[in-house]
Structures are given as C-alpha cells and as structure tokens.
Structure 1
C-alpha cells in the first residue's frame, strides 16, 4: 500500500495505521488521523444511523 492513495480509497483502519508511518519528509502523518475519523463516520456511523420521524 502506498501513502499517495486518496482518502476515499482507504478505509478508516488503513488511514489510522498510516498514523504510525512517517511521510517522505520524515514527519508523522497526523492528518491521517483526521481523515480516518471522517472515513469512519462516512463508512460506518452514517450507514448505521437510524432516523425516527
């Protein structure tokens, strides 16, 4: 897996795992944590939300 993939191609588990890897500049990828949280809501929470009218 490469870190150049789009966030919409990765699930929240994969994005969260990227937090433990360094980017090309040797920096921790903290932005992947925010992307993982966003994808978690898109892929899990929103799909399982039940609305009562």
Structure 2
C-alpha cells in the first residue's frame, strides 16, 4: 500500500494532500491508538482539532 501512496503523491495533484497521524486515547481502557488519514493540506488543522 505504501507504494501506491508514494506514487500518487508524486503527481501534481498529490502535493495538495497530507498524511496525518493522530494519537487517540480510548476512553474505555486509556490506551492510545493511532489514526491515519489522507487529508487536503488546507484541512489539516480541522482534522487535528476534531476529537
């Protein structure tokens, strides 16, 4: 899968996207998990502000 993401990001339209990784804490166990998502560059701050 990583090869597809890298190949997509090398195109001109791929530069408008960012891969964001956010640590999310589980309310049940208190353990952290990581949430990865491809978001447009201008929406990165909105993604990080969400719970």
With normalisation by structure 2, the TM-score equals 0.27
The answer to which structure has the higher strand fraction is 2
With normalisation by structure 1, the TM-score equals 0.26
The answer to which structure has the higher helix fraction is 1
